[in-house]
Structure 1
């Protein structure tokens, strides 16, 4: 019987050795999809002793930025993995305890726990000797001095663990200073005058958290914001916005309708003290901050002019004394165990085709290195569905030059539409990104189909002298 080439190729690929770095949402998703596809040789490296990454409050890996009152921004009904819903009774917007319990249950349900090497820090990922594009091999070195061989490496270590510090605040302010990454609870700030710098989701959460018991709370928003409510008409706001998530609805119209809804429920952002929106920004949702601003528990400022000791002078010319500055100034997109020659992160960018593939290195992938407007489990599942056909030999990546051109086009898109803040360098609105993944996958699978047909034609064709033709 003639062997089936596709079955033979699949048998060869399923024996590949996979390293997955990180046992948070992205790492668990990646490992589950690999195992489900028949790739059984999967090792998950976790620096700490816990499953769940940032959703494990007080995680001993030292990388979690979770605070005591943290809830997810997306609802329970859209945040779970497609084949593993939350158990009955979980609140509408799960908190970090719910999320940690959910991720532990997910890992248990799909047999991931036995693949995790806990308390194992990866310090180096580099090409092994003999590496080629056709046959990539990687070496993973751990802090214990082990050097382990793998055919593929999936980096799922996250991008919220290396804080960015504004030197003006870190070096100039002489009171108490901390990055929001290290904030845990409001108790240490009772009775203090606190300036929270940065109006992202964490900054707004923290300002709302401390303002009731702090003596004074100022929130500095250096660019325009659009704060979506959590609940309208007794239902999650996203229940309504999801109705607009049709590819036939123009993106501009969708955004205008959502902005109108927000204005109906929160009024003008400029009336609350924020700058007008001149470009797009990462999605922001908060249930209570508007009320705190209206009740004068939080005062909004639009920028800092100078810092002198414990005195901060704002753009409007006013000056105040503060006891504490909490800097919600974002994170470096840092992968410390991979050299800059392999994955450069200059200007806080990670150059990846479709946010997954470094153009010049085969067998190395990144899952979860993006900011998006849908739930993270949903985004990560789409990334893995896009990746698997490549690993199964059913799709062929574009050339490195084509991938770099795609990356440059994405950078131009972000520069045109988004504020220049560092967090927007990996922004991927899901109504653009997910269709892009599907279109790209179809093109890569068609490329593989044509390559396969060409190979079969070359193998079966006969030249006039009786030898096989070479095409």
Structure 2
């Protein structure tokens, strides 16, 4: 089935059983559609299959891995990319990473891990590679019509009707590009971090890196080693944590404090004291002072940034005021002359194939979802992996999809109870699953505390575990 679009294949529909806007619709009965074969899509497929569902997965690229597959056009991965969450908090709970791997595996190892996951659970035979979803529309009976087409330019569009849909198209593929005065007229080369793939792009150049997120800091560190000059522009202050604290990966130390049930203020006190004794006051290097306490935004995990700041190979600067033809003016009036600007300014969350109202998307582009996964009044629709946790993502998506699969089974076994569970979910549409008050910026829309989130998922799993269990 690999690399096929499925057009004309009886396994994906047979004779048309309905019509939509003059187009035939091929009924896939109780099958669930999964959009995307990245980490979230793979674990959605695996858990739905384990609960007895047939699954069709559509992947626009020609292999699995999503954002972690650097061969994909939309992948944000660059040569130096490593995990910022340690191995135990990144691996799927039922498929551990090798013990011989480092605490923070490289992107090539993560892709290898995902490929082995797909092979181990025999998922690839259900994936239609080279096929993109162009439209998802509601149909009668809480079902969905999914329109697909080949990304290779052959064949026409085809509509299949599914019992449910999981959207797993990721949220790190559509670059967010800030608007600056003079940007369109400057002669300076300006790229987004999505276009950055290798440190050779920086070698011997004067580089301005814009953005204080994890990607921006990683690229600034690479520029410190390869460029002739590196400026690092940040608008606001953040908390910078090393990858190792007390001899352990930092996220494991944080998790220990959560396991001990220390109050937030106690954890903040310990974290501030620890950073003061290890990282120190970074304002002395010229970085902005954070305007919030630690854990009120996700911290920047980078052990090398402070090293290069201390050695003078990274020069912190403020926000950009405007671009001139041959230089950049900063707020405050300082002029710098880079010949390459890298905009590490994040990504927009986009769902181009579905009516925004179905996901409660507001004017700013933010979807309104219970547990960041389940839309209002759509019990057979879920969004997988739309999270920014203080740990690894993969285990959280695993349990998201276990919950969704069991909720679908509950609709068959106990419809009245399924409605009650759905209402309970919808009553928490506006809840933020964090242990601290988090800034309400687009960068932190999907911020969660992994322990708070998992407890909420567990409570719902307890409610659906009997009738909604796998057949």
Structure 1 residue aligned with 2:147: 141
2:268 to 251, 255, 262: 255
1:28 corresponds to 2:42 = yes
Return the structure number with greater helix share. Answer: 1
Structure 2 residue aligned with 1:10: none
Structure 2: unaligned runs, 5 residues or longer: 1-27, 151-156
Return the structure number with greater strand share. Answer: 2
Q: Deviations over 1:57-108 (max 9, x none)?
A: 122xx21100001001112233211121122432221111101111000111
- Output the CA distance in 1 between the equivalents of 2:77 and 2:90: 17
Q: How far off its partner does 1:228 sit?
A: 1.1
Q: How far off its partner does 1:434 sit?
A: 1.9
1:120 corresponds to 2:131 = yes
Structure 1 residue aligned with 2:18: none
Structure 1 pair 182–424 and aligned structure 2 pair: CA distance change class (3 A): same
2:418 to 368, 379, 396: 396
Structure 1 pair 256–388 and aligned structure 2 pair: CA distance change class (3 A): farther
* Bigger Rg, which one: 1
- Output the CA distance in 2 between the equivalents of 1:255 and 1:183: 35
1:408 to 424, 430, 436: 430
- Output the CA distance in 2 between the equivalents of 1:319 and 1:372: 37
Structure 1: unaligned runs, 5 residues or longer: 1-13, 450-471
Structure 2 residue aligned with 1:101: 112
2:326 to 296, 307, 310: 310
1:350 corresponds to 2:367 = yes
Q: How far off its partner does 1:401 sit?
A: 7.7
1:334/1:345 contact within 8 Å kept = no
1:37 corresponds to 2:51 = yes
Secondary structure of 2:358's match? coil
Structure 1 residue aligned with 2:252: 239
Q: How far off its partner does 1:378 sit?
A: 1.4
Structure 2 residue aligned with 1:186: 199
Figure out how many residues of one structure are paired with residues of the other and give that number: 425
1:372 to 389, 403, 419: 389
- Output the CA distance in 2 between the equivalents of 1:409 and 1:81: 26
Secondary structure of 1:439's match? helix
1:396/1:447 contact within 8 Å kept = no
1:324 corresponds to 2:330 = no
After TM superposition, list the pairs within 5 Å mapping 1:67-466 onto structure 2.
67-128=78-139, 131=140, 135-144=141-150, 145-168=157-180, 170-171=183-184, 173-246=186-259, 248-279=261-292, 280-343=296-359, 344=361, 346-393=363-410, 396=418, 406-410=428-432, 417-442=437-462, 445=464
Structure 2 residue aligned with 1:8: none
Instruction: State the Cα RMSD in Å.
Output: 2.5
- Output the CA distance in 2 between the equivalents of 1:31 and 1:230: 32
- Output the CA distance in 1 between the equivalents of 2:46 and 2:379: 21
